[in-house]
Amino acid sequence: MVRPYAVKGRKKKRKLDDGAASDAAPPVDDAPAADEAEELPPPEEAGEEKGKLEEEEDGAAAEGLPVVPRPVDGKRRPGAIFVLERACLEVGKVGKTMQILNSDDHANYLRKQNRNPADYRPDIIHQALLAIFDSPLTKAGRLQAVYVRTEKGVLFEIKPHVRMPRTFKRFCGLMSQLLQKLSITAVGKREKLLNVIKNPVTRYLPVGARKIGLSFSAEKSVNLFDYVAKSSDDETLVFVVGAMAHGKIDKEYTDDYIQICNYPLSAACCLNRICSALEQKWNIQ
C-alpha cells in the first residue's frame, strides 16, 4: 500500500502558510478585548434576566391583599369600631407546612395532642369578618377599624378598606401568613392592611369612645335599634363581640354589657344586626 504523501505535504504547506501569515500580521491590541466581549452575556440574555427579576418582583407584590376604593368627600362623619374577641386562630405544623388548625381537616391531629377539635373553629371569625366588610355600613365609609384578638392573646388590626378573601381556604392561608410574618401589605404598595399589634386593645380606641359588650348571658336586655338610635353622634361606638364557639367575652374594659336577643346568636348574625341598626341610624340605604 502506497503512503499518501500528498496529504502530508498539504498539511506542511498549511502550517507554513499560517506561520507566514502570523509573522506578516502585526499583533493587534484589540484581540484580548474581543475575547473578553465574547465571555459577556449577549444583550438578549441580559434582557431576559431583567425580565425575570421584574416578574419575581411583580409576583412578590401580588402576594398582598387587594383594597376597596374608599369614598372621598372630605366630611368627617361618625363611625363604628368592632372588636372580635377570642377568635380561634392557631397555627400548627401539619406535615411539612404551617396551617391554621380547624376541626374538619385536623381532627385526628388535634386528638393526638389531647385537644378538643370542637374548639378550633376559624370559620366563625371568617363569617364574622365577611358580615362586617360586606355590609353597606363599610361600603359607605363608616367603618373605622376592626380589631381581632385570638384565644392565645394575639391582637391584630384590620384596615376598613381591605377586601377579605371569599373562600375559607384562602382566608386560612392569609391568617397563617399574618401570624407568622406579623403583617400583610396591599398589592403593589407598602401599606399594612393587617398588622399584629401590642395589647391591650384599649390603647388604640379613640378617647371618649363608648365600648359596648354583647353577650347572651348579659343581664341587661335592650332593643338594639332603639339603643343605637339614642346614642350620640359625637362619641365613637365600639362593639365587642365574641368570635368563639362557646364561652363569654371579657367585659372588664366595656362601658356597657347588653343582650340583644332572647336566643343565642352566632357572631355573624349578631354583627349583621349591629350593622343594620347603625345603617338605620345614619340613613345608609
By DSSP bridging, strand 97-100 and strand 143-150 are unpaired
pLDDT at 76: 65
pLDDT at 109: 81
Whether 278 and 139 have beta carbons less than 8 Å apart is answered as: no
pLDDT at 52: 43
Q: What is the pTM of this model?
A: 0.73
Q: Give the C-alpha separation, 236 to 222, whole Å.
A: 19
Whether 157 and 194 have beta carbons less than 8 Å apart is answered as: yes
Q: Please write the tens of the pLDDT for every residue from 142-162.
A: 999 999 999 999 999 999 989
pLDDT at 99: 87
Give the cell for residue 38. 465574547
Residues (pLDDT < 70) of the chain are: 1-76
pLDDT at 139: 92
